[in-house]
């Protein structure tokens, strides 16, 4: 392993940091922060704002990289004077104009510390740079006599609902809660930082056969494999999960530094240490979530599977770095299956012939939901598609042009209503679908801002119906006529939302009745002139 010093830290020191799992970037010394920094397009925005004398508020959840972004910018902000606010200390008098007053972490300060420093900085025409979680911001905003924190809170709340909200005068707001870093170059950037310093586990010592090292070498040589690791992480965000930068760092570090071999040169045991298996079998929440959504083992590819079992690398178009499963299966079928599992997952990451986007779209509902979010984020109208899902769930209809205002026919404590009816409809064009964080996506188009859900409402009402991944998935399921709490909750939410609709009067209205038990449609046409009901 190279022991060269880069940016003030050796590869061995960096590997030791990874072995400890020390991924709290706000605690990294400057040398480590520079070495591990993945270029962020938002850094230029923050730097330009501060140099222009504008305040900057970086908000988001714990682990989103607020402190890292702020300190990376401050490292290159010279000759601007920076003063960090410290707990229990007020701002010193006489700070020069243009000084940046830095709040490294608002939650680590008392309310009094924050409010006093904000007031003093604004009165003295100093520039504010603060990193703050939404919880402390909500607490502080009503107490701030300057209105600075309240304006920030109100803006991020509106943007999180897909509403337009300009930055307050003289201030730039960067809300990292709306950013999905899997939709950019961040994952590949982190991989490039980790791979060069991977070293054998303590059992293997200096052996180059350690699965850590061999796996890192394979991944380092394959751009396709790196992209597929990133695609699996994006699959999780397709379902609306917000992965923080800290979670991604921890997961990718664990792929190579979280495994210790039981014994050297035990090929079967070592398979569990290769990254292509640890992505699915790692002892962490992200690996478990990936495996629940998708595992290549669940995708049957008859010819490829046969070649993998036999070890026919030429027919596969890749070189398998392991003993063919059939060879081990002669003495132990369990060992043969372990080797086949490893071979199939290796093939998933490295085979050019495997169209994984097609596979994920076919096998993973979250990827399909991601397509819906992508269309909405790109400005494509999706109201008709959502109306069609609701019509199908309630009335068994596939129509999308109108949203039928359906209501329950009856309720019972032990059984859900089997019959639903609708007597009015509203054109889908009257529905409004708001896309959270669309404001940030327009302002910073290459920074990964992306919605985690959609908000559907009426053009003349503030009532909103939240379309997140569980709701979207539930709308496509078969109705359970026995008590089903999740579907009951969805029905109640739809009842409230649909009650806000205002269908136009019809001269000869139709009543649609759908019996979910018998899967039978009945259409009643009401003829007002002849005062009769026609059953169609």
Query: Do you know the residue count of the chain?
Result: 536
276-285, 425-434, 500-509: the lowest-pLDDT one = 500-509
Interatomic CA distance for residues 93 and 120, integer angstroms: 10
Mean pLDDT of 291-317: 94
Residue in the structure block whose two tokens are 């072995």: 19
Q: How far is CA 97 from CA 92, 102, 115, 124, 127, in A?
A: 13, 14, 20, 8, 8
**What are phi and psi for residue 379, nearest 5 degrees?**
90, 5
**427: phi > 0 → left, psi -120 to 50 → alpha, else beta; which?**
beta
Go through 444-474 and write b for each residue having 16 or more CB atoms within 10 A of its CB, e for each that does not.
beebbbbbbbbbbbbeeeeebbebbbebbeb
Structural contact between residues 272 and 210, judged by C-beta atoms closer than 8 angstroms: no
Mean pLDDT of 89-117: 91
Q: Which two tokens stand for residue 501?
A: 């609709």
Does the pLDDT value for residue 85 go beyond 50? yes
Does the pLDDT value for residue 226 go beyond 70? yes
DSSP output for 314-381: HHHTS---S--HHHHHTT-HHHHHHHHHHHHHHHHHH-TT--HHHHHHHH-HHHHHHHHHHHHHTT--
Express each pLDDT in 455-513 by its tens digit.
999 987 878 999 999 999 999 988 887 777 888 889 889 989 998 888 887 666 788 88
Go through 68-88 and write b for each residue having 16 or more CB atoms within 10 A of its CB, e for each that does not.
bbbbbbbeebeebebbebeee
Interatomic CA distance for residues 185 and 188, integer angstroms: 6
Pairing status of strand 55-59 against strand 82-84: unpaired
Q: Please, is 355 exposed, middle or buried when counting C-beta atoms within 10 Å of its C-beta (0-12, 13-18, 19+)? A: exposed
Query: Dihedral of the CA atoms 501, 506, 511, 512 (nearest 10)?
Result: -60
Q: Directed axis angle between helix 111-123 and helix 148-160, to 10°?
A: 110
What residues pair up with 520 in beta bridges, in sequence order?
515
Angle (nearest 5°) at CA 56 between 53 and 58: 165
Q: Which of 13-22, 428-437, 501-510 has the highest mean pLDDT?
A: 428-437
Mean pLDDT of 372-393: 95
> What is residue 427's predicted lDDT score, i.e. its pLDDT?
92
> What is residue 479's predicted lDDT score, i.e. its pLDDT?
82
> What is residue 325's predicted lDDT score, i.e. its pLDDT?
96
How many CB atoms are located within 10 Å of the residue 506 CB?
12
> What is residue 55's predicted lDDT score, i.e. its pLDDT?
97
CA-based nearest residue to 502, from 431, 400, 447, 441? 431
Q: Which two tokens stand for residue 408?
A: 């329950």
65-69, 120-124, 519-523: the lowest-pLDDT one = 519-523
> What is residue 42's predicted lDDT score, i.e. its pLDDT?
95
pLDDT band at 409 (very low <50, low <70, confident <90, very high): low
236-240, 290-294, 319-323, 530-534: the lowest-pLDDT one = 530-534
Residue in the structure block whose two tokens are 């449609």: 521
Does the pLDDT value for residue 245 go beyond 50? yes
> What is residue 508's predicted lDDT score, i.e. its pLDDT?
67
Interatomic CA distance for residues 516 and 478, integer angstroms: 9
> What is residue 531's predicted lDDT score, i.e. its pLDDT?
64
CA-based nearest residue to 425, from 466, 461, 397? 397
To the nearest whole number, what is the mean pLDDT of the chain? 90
CA-based nearest residue to 298, from 312, 273, 280? 280
Express each pLDDT in 436-465 by its tens digit.
999 999 999 989 999 999 999 998 787 899
Q: Directed axis angle between helix 285-293 and helix 245-257, to 10°?
A: 90
Express each pLDDT in 305-318 by its tens digit.
999 999 999 899 99
Interatomic CA distance for residues 129 and 297, integer angstroms: 49
Angle (nearest 5°) at CA 347 between 345 and 353: 140
Structural contact between residues 316 and 304, judged by C-beta atoms closer than 8 angstroms: yes
How many CB atoms are located within 10 Å of the residue 210 CB?
26
Does the pLDDT value for residue 3 go beyond 50? no
pLDDT band at 348 (very low <50, low <70, confident <90, very high): very high
Express each pLDDT in 416-426 by its tens digit.
778 888 888 99
- What's the predicted TM-score (pTM) here? 0.90
């Amino acid at each position: 392993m190279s022991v060269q010093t880069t940016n003030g830290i050796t590869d061995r020191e960096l590997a030791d940091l990874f072995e400890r799992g020390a991924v709290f970037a706000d605690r990294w010394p400057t040398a480590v922060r520079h070495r591990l920094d993945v270029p962020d397009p938002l850094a230029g925005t923050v730097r330009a704002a501060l140099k222009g004398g504008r305040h900057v508020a970086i908000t988001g959840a714990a682990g989103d990289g607020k402190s890292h972004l702020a300190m990376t910018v401050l490292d290159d902000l010279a000759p601007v004077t920076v003063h960090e606010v410290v707990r229990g200390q007020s701002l010193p008098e006489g700070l020069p104009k243009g000084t940046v007053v830095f709040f490294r972490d608002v939650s680590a300060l008392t309310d009094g510390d924050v409010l006093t420093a904000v007031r003093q900085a604004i009165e003295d025409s100093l520039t504010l740079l603060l990193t703050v979680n939404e919880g402390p911001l909500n607490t502080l905003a009503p107490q701030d006599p300057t209105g600075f924190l309240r304006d920030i809170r109100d803006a991020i709340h509106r943007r999180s609902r897909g509403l337009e909200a300009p930055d307050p005068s003289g201030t730039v707001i960067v809300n990292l809660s709306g950013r999905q870093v899997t939709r950019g170059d961040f994952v590949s950037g982190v991989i490039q930082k980790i791979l060069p310093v991977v070293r054998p586990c303590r059992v293997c010592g200096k052996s180059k056969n350690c699965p850590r090292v061999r796996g890192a070498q394979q991944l380092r040589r394959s751009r396709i494999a790196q992209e597929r690791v990133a695609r699996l992480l994006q699959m999780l965000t397709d379902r609306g999960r917000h992965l923080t930068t800290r979670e991604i760092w921890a997961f990718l570090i664990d792929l190579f530094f979280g495994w210790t071999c039981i014994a050297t040169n035990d090929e079967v045991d070592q398979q569990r240490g290769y990254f292509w298996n640890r992505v699915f079998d790692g002892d962490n929440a992200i690996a478990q979530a990936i495996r629940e959504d998708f595992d290549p083992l669940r995708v049957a590819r008859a010819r490829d599977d046969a070649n993998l079992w036999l070890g026919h690398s030429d027919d596969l178009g890749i070189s398998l770095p392991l003993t063919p499963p059939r060879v081990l299966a002669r003495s132990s079928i369990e060992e043969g299956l372990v080797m086949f599992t490893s071979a199939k997952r290796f093939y998933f990451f490295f085979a050019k012939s495997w169209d994984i986007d097609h596979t994920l779209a076919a096998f993973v509902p979250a990827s399909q939901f991601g397509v819906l979010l992508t269309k909405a984020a790109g400005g494509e109208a999706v109201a008709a598609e959502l109306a069609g899902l609701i019509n199908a769930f309630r009335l068994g209809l596939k129509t999308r042009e109108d949203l039928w205002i359906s209501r329950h026919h009856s309720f019972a404590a032990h059984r859900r209503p089997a019959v639903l009816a609708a007597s009015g409809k509203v054109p889908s064009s009257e529905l409004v679908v708001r896309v959270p964080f669309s404001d940030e996506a327009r302002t910073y188009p290459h920074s990964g801002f992306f919605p985690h859900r959609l908000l559907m409402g009426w053009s003349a009402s503030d009532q909103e119906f939240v379309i997140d991944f569980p709701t979207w998935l539930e709308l496509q399921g078969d109705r359970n006529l026995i008590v089903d709490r999740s579907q009951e909750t969805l029905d109640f939410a739809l009842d409230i939302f649909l009650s806000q609709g205002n269908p136009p009067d019809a001269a000869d209205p139709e009543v649609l009745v759908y019996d979910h038990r018998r899967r039978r449609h009945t259409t009643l046409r009401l003829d007002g002139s002849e005062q009769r009901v026609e059953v169609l």
